[in-house]
Amino acid sequence: MNDHPAQQPVRIEDSGTEDNPHAHLDAVVAAEVGWGNQVVRDWHITDPHFGYWDLTLARPFHVDRLRTDFRFPGTIGLSVVASRPGGQRASMSLGDTRNLVGITAPLPAGWPDADADIALASS
């Protein structure tokens, strides 16, 4: 018999708050840190004209754990952003396209360096 029943996945809201636009993704950051990741650069505005917020992690996302521990709204997606000329390295981005908020992490070793969407729902 299992003495520790599985926890229900945490539902991520559609958006943060006016004062804290990334509040809905803070649980994801806390989980990643709890799983051993580190924040390299805390929340900051990357484009003052559009107000895009970003946070950068030191290591790749724990994709399987994100799928099992969270339920994401349709406005939040996970993708690979391929390397680009000029030195931009390939990365992963967990982004909220409606509210222009995202978390960036390095691409895991062995993953293809090509633009791609990654399913967040476990299959």
Q: Which of 6-10, 71-75, 83-87, 113-117 has the lowest mean pLDDT?
A: 6-10
Count of structural domains within the chain: 1
| Sheet order of strands, 76-81 included | 39-47, 52-57, 101-106, 91-96, 76-81, 116-118
Q: Is 111 a member of any domain?
A: yes
Token pair, residue 122, equals 């476990």
In whole angstroms, give the CA distance from residue 42 to residue 31: 15
Is 2 inside a domain boundary?
no
What would the pLDDT profile of 39-81 be if each residue is shown by its tens digit? 999 999 988 887 889 999 999 999 999 999 999 999 999 999 9
Residue 67 domain flag: yes
Q: Is residue 90 part of a domain?
A: yes
Total-model pTM: 0.89
Does residue 102 sit within a domain? Answer: yes
Domain of residue 88, residue span: 39-118
- In this prediction, residue 123 carries a pLDDT of 54
The answer to whether residue 33 sits within a structural domain is: no
- Asked if residue 114 belongs to a domain, the reply is yes
Mean pLDDT within 28-46? 97
Please compute the mean of the pLDDT values over residues 7-31 and round it to a whole number.
94
